[in-house]
Structure formats: C-alpha cells, structure tokens
Structure 1
C-alpha cells in the first residue's frame, strides 16, 4: 500500500485524523480539492462566520449598547472592507498553522479530486488534468458539506446568495431576508441585525433550533424581535425572484417580502457526489450524509471511515475533530475510553447560545 491512511478533506475531522495517524507512526496523505488547505471550516464556515461576528461586535459597539443606548456605535460607517480585512488575516493565519502542523508531523498533502476505484485504491485528478492512482490501507472521508441549492432558486450573487457566498458581498445590504432559521441562518441574521440592517427571518416550520431548550429559544426570539427583526415562522416559501432593484420572496400564504438581498440558508448537502461511493458499496442519503457506526465511525466498508459534517448531526468543528481522532485510533487498533454522553453545543448568534445535555423537554419525555 502507498499509505497507511488516506484522508479525503482537510477540515477539522480530516486534520485531526491525519495528525493522530502520523503520531502513531503511520504514513498519511491528505487530499483536498480546494485551493488551500483547511476545508469549509476555515474558508467559508466556522472560522469566517465567527471572525465576522467578532468584527461586527467590535466595530458596532453592540456589547456596550446596554449602557450607552441602542444608537451607540464605535465606528459610524462600517463597510464590507472593514469586515473583510480582519477576515483575510485570520484565514491566512489558520492556513499557515495547518501547513506547519502537517510539516511537523510529516503529513503529505495533495490538491486533487478523489474517486474510489476499490476498497484500497483511489484516483487523483488535478485541475490541470494530471491523473494518478494511490493505494491505501485505511481511508477517512471528511469532505464536509456545501449549501443546499434548489434548482428553482435563482442564485446570482447579486440579489440571492447561499451561506458560502455571503462573504463575497461588495457592500452591506440595505435590507436582508434570510430563509432558513437553522444555526447558520440565525447566526447571519443576527450578525447583520447588529449592523442595523433591517432583517426578515423566514422559517417554514413553526419553531427554530429544535435541539435547544424551548424557554431559551422563546427568549432568543423575543430578543430578536425586540431589536427590530421580523420573524415569520410557519411560512413556506413559494417562489424567490431576482429583480433589477430588489429580491422578492413570495410566501405560500400569498404575501411577498421585498429586500435588497436574500440569503438562502435552508440546509446543507454532503460533498459526496463525485467520490465514486457506489464503486465500494457505500450509500449516502438524499442530503449526501454517510451512515457510520457511531462508536468507530466505520462505514459499511470496514477500512473506510467517515467523520465530520458529512455524517450529519451535530456538525460541530469540535465534535468533528474528536470523530477524526477516534476513527484514526480505531483504524490502527489503539484502545480508547468510552465517549462522553453529552457535549457542549455553541450557536454563535448575537447574543450567543450554548447548551449541554438534555433540554427540559427531553428530560420530561424520558
């Protein structure tokens, strides 16, 4: 075999699995098709959104408004340039740290598209068309996810954006409609609200953040509305239209919401479409999520593992890292203590929410 461990993807789970395998004295290759190492977490997900949030809170003076009043601002005219400057510095630093970590642990990396040819072999194809085949004893699928983009939504990066594209705004929108009140949706909605952008949050279901205690969610919704956000729960979206002067969201009840920009943040899909999973007999569901053993993170093929967002909930960087470490240790026969029964969950909205363990509703039901 060419490598003891092949890692597909360089996000939190892939990174941790690669380093853990290397520390066990194994040969490791990390393959990522992105322009730079780090995966979604570094370039469009965890790190960018949290950096954006912190920058907004600092420049807007949001934390001090309880004392100075709602009109208080540290910087009066905040531009996209102000937000992007810190973002780029943070991303460059994260990539540099990752590269040094791989170098210190003799982890090799390659930029290429990966496709399974069998349970112990993959093909690598670079952007320039160079083709090679690599053998492996064990593999970890850590390809992450991408925004769910329905075909009937006219994404154009002018009026209508997905969550990965919001970082490419050329200026702050005068008004914003966010479709989808999951973690990503509420984070971006409240971040832009902290910049005093009028925000409308649309959610087809009658509730948001179902895994969080209802009392906490109710207070969170009250705070958002108290800040002037419009929240429409139980509002199914019939059609989204991009117009020259605005974006229009037509709801199933006949109402139409007009705003300068629409963020579509209703779910994400696993990046498994071109991996050739069918060749090795691994199945993914309609959202591209791979089923694994929850204790070992093995797929239906024993020497091929999967971890991180591509296996679904909880889709946290912290839990993804531990999943990658556990998968690597299991692959090489390293015993581990049983996993913890609970873990903390953070939502970096404004204000932030954190929970650990069961909600009151779950305790009452058990």
Structure 2
C-alpha cells in the first residue's frame, strides 16, 4: 500500500462545517488535514451559494433602491443586462473570501489537499488529486462536511443552455425577459425577488399550499404580498409533468394542464448530499435517498469515529448552523461530552425585503395552548426607516401573557437578518432575564431600526389587561 500521511483527524469538505471543525481541532493541538474537491477553500457557500447570491442580491437591492429616488433615475438603464455584468462585484468578493479563509488554514497549520476523496477503509482515505496523482491519508477520526448540490430529476436536461439550477444560474450570460422558477423554498423565493428586481418577468411555481409554510403565517403572507407587488406571478400547489426545451425558449408542462413558456427555467426544488463519490460502503456507512448522512446528538455517524456536519446531514442546511455543527462535532472528537447540539438557529432569508425569525410562531403557540400576546412595530412608523426610504416591513414579538417571556421574534423588512439578533440575545438570557421588560425599559439610540423593539414591546404591553 502507498505510504500514508498520518493525521489525528481528516475533514472532507472546506465549507463552513469543515472549517468550523478543522479550526477547533487544530487550535486544540490535533494534527488536521482538510480535503476539498473544488480546488479552492470555501465550499459551495463561498463559490456558488451564500456569498455570490447575497452579493448579487445586494447589487439588485441597490439598483431598486436608487430607482425609487428621482435623483438616480438613470440607474434604471441597468435593468435587463446580462447577469454576468451584475455579478462582477460578487466574483471580487469570492476571491477575497477565498484569500481570507486560505490564511486561516495556513495560520493554524492545517494541511489542505485538493481532489476527490474516497474511503479505502475505516482508517484510510485516498485522494485523487486535481493533477492526476493520488494521496493516501490515515486518520483516527474523520468529519464528513461535503455539503450538497441542487437535486436534478433524471428527466430534465440540465446541460441545455436554457435550463439552470441554483449553481448554474450564476453563469447566465444572455439577456432574459421571462424566467420560470420551479420550487418556492428559500432559494426559489430569494432568486424570484432578485430577478424581478432586474426587470425580468418571473413565474414562481410553488408545490405547496403557501410560501415557506414554516414561517409565521403573517410573515409568509407579507412575503407573498410583496413578491406580487414586485411583479412575481406565484402559482401554488403545482407539480411539473415535463420540461420541453428549444433553442430559443423552454416550456414547462404542469400536471394541472397549464403550459408556461419562458426564456429559461431555474430549478430550485430540493438538494442532494455530496456523498456519492466517497465510497461510504468501505466504512459501512450508507446515505439516504437524498445523499444525506444520519447522525446522533453528537454529530456521530453509525461508525463511532466518523462524524458529519453541515448540509450533508440535512436540515437546517444553513451556513451559520453548519459552522457551529462542525465545531460541535470537533468538540465531541476532543472528548468534551457536555457540548450541546446546535439548536434554536435563527432563520435568515435574503429575499427583497429580508426575513428573519427565531422561536415559536403564532400557529405553534396556539396549538400548544400557550397564553401568548403579540407586540408589533411597523417600519413605516420608524424615523430611521423613513430616512432610508425602506419603510416596508415589521418586527413582531410573541411573548407569554403572564411571565412576559419572549417566545418568538419575527422580522420582515430591510436588514431583518441583523435586527433579529437583538431579540436572540435577550431570548438566551437565564434567571428571568428573557422578558419583554428589557425592551420596554431600555433606551435605544434614535433614530435606529433597533428602536422597533421598544415600539413593539410597548405595543404588546398595551394589549394586556
């Protein structure tokens, strides 16, 4: 057998979960290697997911913002330009992120290998390098953090230039007037708001009864309303039958009998774990039908010395959660038995406007027969929102009528993903610190969006009797 490079831990995948695990392990003195098939660190998050899509969203948001200002009407000329031009800033940010994270590995003496990894046995990993050679690594423990990719139904030709998934869409290099987005989950809704902001006609096909049904109903309804206000045509409870492709268009055939013609289609219906090339059978592991790995409360797989974290284990499939899951898995490898599993993760949805939430929804509290009340602050009433012109949205606090404990924070509007963390910090307080009184009795800078917490708290207290 080829001579192996010996490591305490080998991490497969250099996205947020892999980085979280590798950094913690190396800082605790372990000899760590990280392997990534892409050829650059950062994972899908940096290269085709969170970073480029959010950078694209920010550019589109800036265009929309200035279009509302009569002083900047010429910005409207940017509409309907090829996506590659709008993405120029995103590519710069990707390069910056790769450089930053590469320095992290160098500084912490983590060995980085680029190539496709697969298990030889329960203690060895073989890497087919991008140069065509092979490397053999031995390990005492391993962390699977290979992420996920868009799910591809077998009957759809994703090699066609007018058929895209959420990775490929970032290579769109021709003008589009009408776009079909199939799948109205987080990614579908985000791209719907982005492309309608660029002046495209967008048909958003939702297989469910409503958008993002796990959100608080009021927030989900607000998202539907404002997407429609932007010009998105939402079609609920639809299922595809087939996709017909032509040189100059695509036609989506739905099981309801509808036929929708557009310049291109973006498929956003589900994701698949990147496990098919790992030779899991060599270590006695098996992925489910969506390529995902089952783990226990310690992120341990069925093989005690092999752990998994991030998108490859499924829900919640968020970069923020993945990083913490990787750190948690590393803690258990290190023997820190009381490390808690990553729970209570805030939802951040980067539509235009943003959505972020944490805790219970009104529907959940009603079903659980919890006596709750609601405090609301509408952004249109806040001086800061009026100054910036971003008056769409609201902050909603759900709290216990008797103890005033905060049970849920739901925010819809510009910078919602930032605003929610103020509520998150108070919700985490112990010994009676998590109550609405904090927001009612605390002085906030004026004018700020944070002031929404004081307004919502007083609004909620006024509902009590």
Q: Paired residue for 1:52, among 44, 50, 56?
A: 56
Task: Answer yes or no: is 1:137 the counterpart of 2:140.
Answer: yes
Task: Answer yes or no: is 1:296 the counterpart of 2:298.
Answer: yes
State the distance in 1 between where 2:200 and 2:24 align. 44
Task: Answer yes or no: is 1:107 the counterpart of 2:110.
Answer: yes
Q: Which runs of 5+ in 2 are unaligned?
A: 369-465
Shift of 1:73: 6.0
State the distance in 2 between where 1:72 and 1:217 align. 31
Match of 2:77 in 1: 76
Task: Answer yes or no: is 1:31 the counterpart of 2:35.
Answer: yes
Match of 1:158 in 2: 161
Match of 2:356 in 1: 354
The answer on whether the counterparts of 1:157 and 1:165 sit within 8 Å (CA) in structure 2 is: no
Shift of 1:336: 4.8
State the distance in 2 between where 1:277 and 1:85 align. 39
State the distance in 2 between where 1:81 and 1:144 align. 25
| TM-score of the two chains, using structure 1 as the length reference | 0.94
The answer on whether the counterparts of 2:16 and 2:45 sit within 8 Å (CA) in structure 1 is: yes
Alignment RMSD, CA only? 1.8
Distance 1:88 1:68, change over 3 A: same
Match of 1:202 in 2: 205
State the distance in 2 between where 1:224 and 1:84 align. 22
Match of 2:317 in 1: 315
Name which of structure 1's ranges 197-206 and 125-134 shifts more when overlaid on structure 2.
Answer: 125-134
Shift of 1:172: 3.5
Shift of 1:81: 4.2
Summarize deviations over 1:177-212 as a string: whole Å, max 9, x none. 000001111111110011121100012222221221
Shift of 1:72: 5.0
Summarize deviations over 1:143-195 as a string: whole Å, max 9, x none. 00011111111223521111100000113311100000011111111100111
Match of 2:65 in 1: 63
Q: State the secondary structure of the residue aligned to 1:53.
A: helix
Summarize deviations over 1:95-149 as a string: whole Å, max 9, x none. 0001100011001100111111222111111234312321101100000001111
Q: State the secondary structure of the residue aligned to 1:319.
A: helix
Q: Which runs of 5+ in 1 are unaligned?
A: none
**Counterparts of 1:8-19 in structure 2 under 5 Å?**
8-19=12-23
State the distance in 2 between where 1:126 and 1:339 align. 34
State the distance in 2 between where 1:227 and 1:286 align. 37
State the distance in 2 between where 1:28 and 1:81 align. 37
State the distance in 2 between where 1:309 and 1:22 align. 22
Match of 1:127 in 2: 130
Match of 1:6 in 2: 10
The answer on whether the counterparts of 1:115 and 1:275 sit within 8 Å (CA) in structure 2 is: yes
**Counterparts of 1:250-265 in structure 2 under 5 Å?**
250-265=253-268
Name which of structure 1's ranges 17-26 and 202-211 shifts more when overlaid on structure 2.
Answer: 202-211
The answer on whether the counterparts of 1:28 and 1:107 sit within 8 Å (CA) in structure 2 is: yes
The answer on whether the counterparts of 2:242 and 2:253 sit within 8 Å (CA) in structure 1 is: yes
State the distance in 1 between where 2:99 and 2:131 align. 25
**Counterparts of 1:265-276 in structure 2 under 5 Å?**
265-276=268-279
